[in-house]
A and B are shown apart, each in its own frame.
Chain A
């Protein structure tokens, strides 16, 4: 029997150099839902995705990152590769398309490496994935010939090629025009519904994220400061969450960086 919690982060502490990113982070991501992870820049949203994917690991005893109940931080390299192959997909901010392969071969890559399917079956599967993202007609194009939105869609098709159960999107809307952004928003929601995926989405775009996410997870200062549906957080979230969601320039997160008294500074009486 599968648990309703797909990804469970327990008491996680993580540092980069001397900088603390998480200090006892606890958060659970429900299965089959779209959860948008949001928060101020540098708060460790992408780092959280990389910890869930096992690309980063916390120090021993500094918490657990459980995917389907298994701690990815303790997994052997081969087990981790197998978990990613069978159950995970990730869409990177820069998409990570292989520049020496065309669109078709990019999507076919995981199928060719991991399966021994006959060529005609690989062709059908790739065309189905490309059809899902609306780029079947661009199969022979090279990545350099694609627009930003098309690149993102090809990368999305590639990340679902092996039919993952969990898919992570790192800033999928960054740098896209409104039409491309609308397409990606629709695809993320559509794929989640059609394939029953658990989707974790890192984004700064409040409106788009609220439009497709079942839950928002707001991170700040190494902890979760808000977790719930967009409506719940907009209505009942604390002041910092509300400031983030409404984009107020001043509030619990002040506009001014801490400084001495302005008047005294101008009069030169303080250094």
Chain B
């Protein structure tokens, strides 16, 4: 019994220490260096690595999600004689929720896990130690540009996801189901409000970008430098950041809608 309580205590202490280290890493990385602290070419390289190379998965996923939304929405709205609201439904769902959330989840799976594995391997092969011994701060050189690249990339990917999703919705509803395209695009234009819908979606995506990238770089930086340790850290990145995105989405939505 005592052993169990001690084990719970150890787990709790380790978790709090881990959160403390993660907070320290974030503060040090962001306070010590702006986006270009390791040189803008490094930042651009990282944006290419985590952002540009995620384009294909974002575009394909966005198009399919938009198509499914339109298909489901059409079948529901037709029962109430409101199919003309389909464009509104698709665009608001994507801009407010699915764009930021899905882009962040896909980003965590593709770029987040890669970031963790890359930094973990740099640690295991003593590249980070070598950097330190050359008088170069690995936080500034390795972590900061990757963190900023994630913060910059995710909102842009979310916007792209929503845009492609709306086109996917248009393809299904207008081209396949025969909805009048004026109703699809016109109602969307009349109801989507730039600040309430687009900007709030972008704020969400920025927060998700920061959180997912933070978790990814921390997991890599704090990983046990063995193949097993890096594998575990990579899995944790995907699991923790996915749950964090979904949990934060609820909190942000509640705050933005002023419901809580």
* A interface residues (Cβ-Cβ under 8 A, vs B): 53, 55, 77, 81-86, 88-90, 92-99, 109-110, 113-114, 155, 158-159, 162
Contacts and interface: CB of A to CB of B under 8 A. Distances in A.
A84 B133 contact: yes
Nearest to B135: A85
A95 to B, nearest CB: 7
B131 to A, nearest CB: 8
A83 B135 CA distance: 7
Interface centre among A83, A84, A113, A158 (most CB of B within 10 A): A113
B127 A99 contact: yes
B134 A94 contact: no
A110 to B, nearest CB: 5
B200 interface: no
Interface in B122-152: 125-127, 129-137, 141
- Interface bracket on B: 10 to 19
A110 B135 CA distance: 8
Contacts of A94: 125-126
A213 B19 CA distance: 46
Contacts of A113: 134, 136, 141
Contacts of B141: 113
B133 A89 contact: yes
A255 B129 CA distance: 36
B134 A109 contact: yes
B126 A86 contact: no
B133 A88 contact: yes
Given A84-B134, A114-B136, A162-B134, 17 more contacts: A53-B133, A82-B135, A84-B132, A84-B133, A85-B135, A85-B136, A86-B135, A89-B134, A92-B129, A92-B133, A94-B125, A96-B126, A96-B129, A96-B131, A114-B134, A114-B135, A162-B135
A88 B141 CA distance: 19
Contacts of A99: 125, 127
Contact of B130 (A82, A83, A96, A114): A96
A84 B136 CA distance: 9
21 contacts: A53-B133, A81-B136, A81-B137, A82-B135, A84-B133, A89-B134, A90-B133, A92-B130, A96-B125, A96-B129, A96-B131, A97-B127, A109-B136, A110-B134, A110-B136, A113-B136, A113-B141, A114-B134, A114-B135, A158-B134, A159-B133
B20 to A, nearest CB: 17
Nearest to A106: B130
Nearest to A83: B135
Contacts of B134: 84-85, 89, 109-110, 113-114, 158-159, 162
A28 to B, nearest CB: 22
Contacts of A159: 133-134
Q: Which 9 A-B pairs have the closest CB atoms?
A: A85-B135, A96-B130, A96-B126, A90-B133, A84-B135, A92-B126, A81-B135, A110-B134, A94-B126
A95 B126 contact: yes
A99 B117 CA distance: 14
Contacts of B133: 53, 55, 84, 88-90, 92, 159
Given A96-B125, A99-B125, A90 B130 contact: yes
B135 A55 contact: no
A97 B132 CA distance: 13
A114 B126 CA distance: 20
A96 B135 contact: no
B44 to A, nearest CB: 14
Interface in B177-213: none
Contacts of A53: 132-133
Contacts of A86: 135
B27 to A, nearest CB: 14
A169 to B, nearest CB: 12
A99 B125 CA distance: 10
Contacts of A82: 135
A162 B136 CA distance: 12
A90 B133 CA distance: 6
A96 B133 CA distance: 11
B120 to A, nearest CB: 13
A106 to B, nearest CB: 10
Nearest to A89: B133
Contacts of B127: 96-99
B49 to A, nearest CB: 10
B222 to A, nearest CB: 16
B248 to A, nearest CB: 32
Contacts of A90: 130, 133
Contacts of A84: 132-135
Interface centre among B125, B131, B133, B136 (most CB of A within 10 A): B133
B41 to A, nearest CB: 11
B169 to A, nearest CB: 40
Contacts of B131: 96
